[in-house]
């Protein structure tokens, strides 16, 4: 049995947390490959080391003195080393980091040092081999992740390695330049390592006892999810459920390896199993609810639009030409709405509108900004009736106006659009209608 275990920043924020992690790893021999994140927040107002590194590097880039910021980072690590009673010094590494920052080695290099240093501590604490992720996670010269090359390099490197610590979040381009995944990317590294080893399970340890039906910062004490499919999880993580990075599914999915989300602070809890498919009947019709704020709807009106062949293609071409990806596209007989991320759209707003006029000569175009999208996801929805009606009635009872509703034919999810300011209330209303209260 081989397990790859990834520990998030919240699990490695202090020596006390490190000790819990040590106990978890030592409890099972199969926990042979460890992927650590950088130290996260010790308390809610604390700063993650990754954010401290970004700030410190920004000072270096502006030519300011960054000694104080770097010292604060060093103190975070020294506190952990001291608390664990290790005979380890990171002086040499910090000297190199200082030089590299002064030489403007790049934002990604800076951020990656959080995981790199934590990996060195973890390997020393466990007596495991340290493998620098820059030697096993490959990006091409344009900074795109190279999945097959990485899989080959990683499997060869780990073939004869009994136990190893591989820091999360980064890799390197062919010229050796460090490149990171997007924020939260240590989850992706864990998944890549699990695939390369054809591990039996990828355990992802965090500060909640698994995936919950809704964000616990919005719904009080939400119900945990025992089992969820890759597809359902992908919908939820894409739509903002931050427990797992939205790209972390792909590597393990290739090998059908289950992911088990576990809680470092409650290791006895079983957590959530994320699997390819399951015959287990979901406890509730819906599996989860997640959402994001900050969308804009572009409503295009034109009489007889329906009979104009190629209308949709011409509209989407304008978005493509402007490098804007679209999220949803509900349409009627004479109307078509394109929903995009507000921050991608605002700076190109007038250019896009002018090009839409030129491309399809509409009767009118209206914009509706500050929208939030909420995804109600569940494999159980396929076999039950009235789901969309229940969502709508939950929102109308809460006096929330539904700006848009979209249900894919897979019936795996229903997407609703509401004003940003009703986002939290809408999630609570949907939760209450679908999840029986204890
Ligand atoms: N549906 C959800 N279920 C569980 N946690 C969620 C959900 N949506 C958002 N979260 C948040 O995700 C957090 C865990 O993710 P993250 O902060 O990335 O952890 P880590 O530091 O372990 O990587 C939880 O503390 C919780 O606040
Ligand atoms: N440390 C990086 C990568 C990461 O995955 O962290 P965490 O596991 O704490 O979400 C970040 O803050 O984005």
Same-domain pairing of 186 and 330: no
pTM: 0.89
Does the beta carbon of 48 sit less than 6 angstroms from any atom of ligand 2?
yes
Please answer whether residues 212 and 237 qualify as being in contact, where contact means their C-beta atoms are separated by less than 8 angstroms: no
Q: 8, 169, 240: which to mutate for ligand 2, most atoms within 8 A of CB?
A: 169
Identify the DSSP state of 145.
B
For residue 282, being part of any structural domain is answered with: no
204 Cα–ligand 2 center, Å: 12
pLDDT beyond 90 at 234: no
ipTM: 0.96
In the sheet with 3-7, reading across from the earlier edge strand, the strands are: 129-130, 164-165, 31-36, 3-7, 201-206, 259-263, 272-275, 227-229
**Total residue length of the chain:** 438
Q: Which of ligand 1's atoms lies nearest the C-alpha of 288?
A: 1
Same-domain pairing of 368 and 229: no
Domain boundary among 250, 275, 300: 275
For residue 406, being part of any structural domain is answered with: yes
For residue 353, being part of any structural domain is answered with: yes
- At 207 the three-state DSSP class reads coil
Tell me the per-residue pLDDT of 310-347, one tens digit each, with 9 for 90 and over: 999 999 999 999 999 999 898 888 999 999 999 999 99
Please answer whether residues 169 and 189 qualify as being in contact, where contact means their C-beta atoms are separated by less than 8 angstroms: yes
Please answer whether residues 329 and 337 qualify as being in contact, where contact means their C-beta atoms are separated by less than 8 angstroms: yes
Same-domain pairing of 377 and 405: yes
Q: What is the number of helices (H) and of strands (E) in the chain?
A: 14, 16
Cα separation of the two ends of the chain: 38
Does the beta carbon of 11 sit less than 6 angstroms from any atom of ligand 1?
yes
For residue 304, being part of any structural domain is answered with: yes
Does the beta carbon of 265 sit less than 6 angstroms from any atom of ligand 1?
no
Tell me the per-residue pLDDT of 254-293, one tens digit each, with 9 for 90 and over: 999 999 999 999 999 999 999 988 887 777 889 999 999 9
CA 363 to chain centre: 40
> What is the Cα–Cα distance from 128 to 341, expressed in whole angstroms?
44
Query: Which range in 181-195, 237-251, 302-316 is most confidently predicted, on average pLDDT?
Result: 181-195
243 Cα–ligand 1 center, Å: 4
Specify the residue with its C-alpha closest to ligand 1, atom 23.
8
What value does the CA radius of gyration of the chain take, rounded to a whole number of Å?
24
Q: Please, what sign has the CA dihedral across residues 73, 79, 84, 88?
A: positive
> What is the Cα–Cα distance from 328 to 293, expressed in whole angstroms?
14
Q: What is the CATH number of the domain that holds 385?
A: 3.30.2130.10
Contacts of 67 (CB under 8 A, 6+ apart): none
Beta partners for residue 413, in sequence order: 377
Same-domain pairing of 138 and 252: yes
Same-domain pairing of 359 and 253: no
Of residues 342 and 306, more confidently modeled = 342
Contacts of 420 (CB under 8 A, 6+ apart): 293, 294, 370, 371, 372
Does the beta carbon of 7 sit less than 6 angstroms from any atom of ligand 2?
no
Domain boundary among 208, 241, 275: 275
183 Cα–ligand 2 center, Å: 6
Beta partners for residue 259, in sequence order: 202, 274
> What is the Cα–Cα distance from 392 to 372, expressed in whole angstroms?
15
> What is the Cα–Cα distance from 90 to 113, expressed in whole angstroms?
12
Q: What is the CATH number of the domain that holds 252?
A: 3.40.1160.10
For residue 281, being part of any structural domain is answered with: no
Contacts of 64 (CB under 8 A, 6+ apart): none
Q: How confident is the model at residue 59 (pLDDT cuts 50, 70, 90)?
A: very high
> What is the Cα–Cα distance from 92 to 99, expressed in whole angstroms?
11
What pLDDT was estimated at residue 246? 86
Quick one: what percent of the chain has pLDDT higher than 70?
Answer: 100
From the CA of 217, which ligand is nearest?
Answer: 1
DSSP state letters, 269-337: S--EEEES---PPPSSS--EEEEEEEEEEEEEE-TTGGGSTTHHHHHHHHHHHTT--EEE--B-SSEEE
Same-domain pairing of 334 and 201: no
For residue 280, being part of any structural domain is answered with: no
Identify the DSSP state of 82.
H
| Segment 220-233 mean pLDDT | 92
Nearest to 375 by CA among 306, 318, 423: 423
Q: How confident is the model at residue 370 (pLDDT cuts 50, 70, 90)?
A: very high
Same-domain pairing of 414 and 295: yes
pLDDT beyond 90 at 237: no
Of residues 124 and 407, more confidently modeled = 124
Same-domain pairing of 208 and 305: no
Q: 236, 243, 269: which to mutate for ligand 1, most atoms within 8 A of CB?
A: 243
Same-domain pairing of 89 and 174: yes
Please answer whether residues 136 and 192 qualify as being in contact, where contact means their C-beta atoms are separated by less than 8 angstroms: no
> What is the Cα–Cα distance from 217 to 424, expressed in whole angstroms?
9
Does the beta carbon of 114 sit less than 6 angstroms from any atom of ligand 2?
yes
What pLDDT was estimated at residue 36? 98
The helix (run of H) or strand (run of E) holding residue 13 is: none
For residue 237, being part of any structural domain is answered with: yes
| Segment 64-69 mean pLDDT | 96
| Segment 220-234 mean pLDDT | 91
Domain assignment of residue 392, given as a range: 288-434
For residue 165, being part of any structural domain is answered with: yes
**Quick one: residue 389, left, alpha or beta (phi over 0 = left, psi -120 to 50 = alpha)?**
alpha
pLDDT beyond 70 at 438: no
In the sheet with 404-407, reading across from the earlier edge strand, the strands are: 326-328, 335-341, 288-301, 364-377, 413-419, 404-407
| Segment 102-125 mean pLDDT | 97
What pLDDT was estimated at residue 337? 94
Does the beta carbon of 247 sit less than 6 angstroms from any atom of ligand 2?
no
Domain boundary among 275, 302, 321: 275
Tell me the per-residue pLDDT of 147-158, one tens digit each, with 9 for 90 and over: 999 999 999 999
pLDDT beyond 70 at 169: yes
Does the beta carbon of 387 sit less than 6 angstroms from any atom of ligand 1?
no
Q: Furthest-apart CA pair in the chain: how many Å?
A: 76
What pLDDT was estimated at residue 385? 86
Same-domain pairing of 311 and 231: no
Same-domain pairing of 113 and 194: yes
Same-domain pairing of 248 and 316: no
Number of domains in the chain: 2
Please answer whether residues 191 and 251 qualify as being in contact, where contact means their C-beta atoms are separated by less than 8 angstroms: yes
Specify the residue with its C-alpha closest to ligand 1, atom 18.
243
Average pLDDT, the chain: 95
């Amino acid at each position: 049995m081989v397990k790859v275990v990834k520990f998030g920043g919240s699990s490695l924020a202090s020596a006390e947390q490190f000790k819990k992690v040590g106990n978890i790893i030592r409890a099972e021999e199969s926990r042979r490959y460890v992927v650590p994140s950088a130290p996260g927040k010790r308390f809610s107002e604390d700063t993650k080391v990754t954010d401290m590194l970004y700030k410190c590097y920004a000072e270096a880039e502006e030519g300011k003195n960054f000694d104080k910021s770097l010292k604060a980072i060093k103190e975070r690590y020294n506190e952990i080393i001291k608390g664990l009673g290790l005979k380890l010094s990171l002086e040499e590494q910090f000297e190199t980091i200082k030089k590299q920052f002064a030489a403007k080695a790049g934002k990604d290099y800076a951020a990656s040092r959080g995981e790199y240093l934590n990996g060195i501590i973890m390997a020393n604490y466990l007596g495991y081999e340290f493998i620098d992720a820059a030697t096993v996670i490959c990006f091409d010269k344009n900074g795109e992740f190279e999945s097959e090359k990485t899989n080959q390099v990683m499997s060869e490197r780990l073939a004869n390695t009994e136990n190893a610590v591989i820091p999360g979040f980064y890799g390197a381009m062919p010229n050796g330049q460090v490149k990171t995944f997007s924020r939260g990317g240590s989850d992706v590294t864990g998944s890549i390592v699990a695939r390369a080893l054809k591990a039996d399970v990828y355990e992802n340890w965090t500060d909640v006892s698994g995936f919950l039906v809704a964000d616990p910062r919005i719904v009080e004490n939400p119900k945990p999810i025992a089992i969820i499919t890759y597809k359902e999880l992908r919908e939820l993580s894409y739509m903002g459920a931050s427990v797992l990075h939205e790209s972390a599914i792909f590597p393990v999915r290739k090998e059908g390896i289950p992911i088990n989300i576990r809680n470092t602070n409650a290791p006895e809890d079983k957590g959530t199993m994320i699997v390819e498919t399951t015959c287990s009947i979901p406890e509730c019709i819906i599996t989860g609810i997640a959402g994001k704020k900050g969308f804009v709807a572009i409503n295009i009106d034109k009489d007889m639009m329906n009979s104009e062949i190629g209308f949709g293609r011409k509209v989407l071409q304008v978005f493509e030409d402007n490098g804007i990806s679209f999220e949803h596209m509900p349409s009627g007989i004479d109307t078509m709405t394109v929903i995009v991320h507000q921050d991608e759209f605002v700076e190109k707003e007038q250019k896009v509108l002018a090009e839409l006029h030129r491309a399809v000569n509409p009767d009118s175009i209206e914009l509706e900004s500050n929208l939030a999208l909420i995804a109600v996801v569940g494999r159980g929805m396929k076999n039950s009736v009235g789901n969309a009606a229940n969502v709508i009635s939950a929102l109308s009872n809460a006096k929330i106006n539904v700006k848009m509703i979209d249900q894919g034919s897979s019936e795996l999810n229903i997407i609703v659009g509401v004003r940003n300011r009703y986002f939290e209330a809408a999630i609570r209303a949907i939760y209450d209608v679908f999840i029986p209260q204890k």
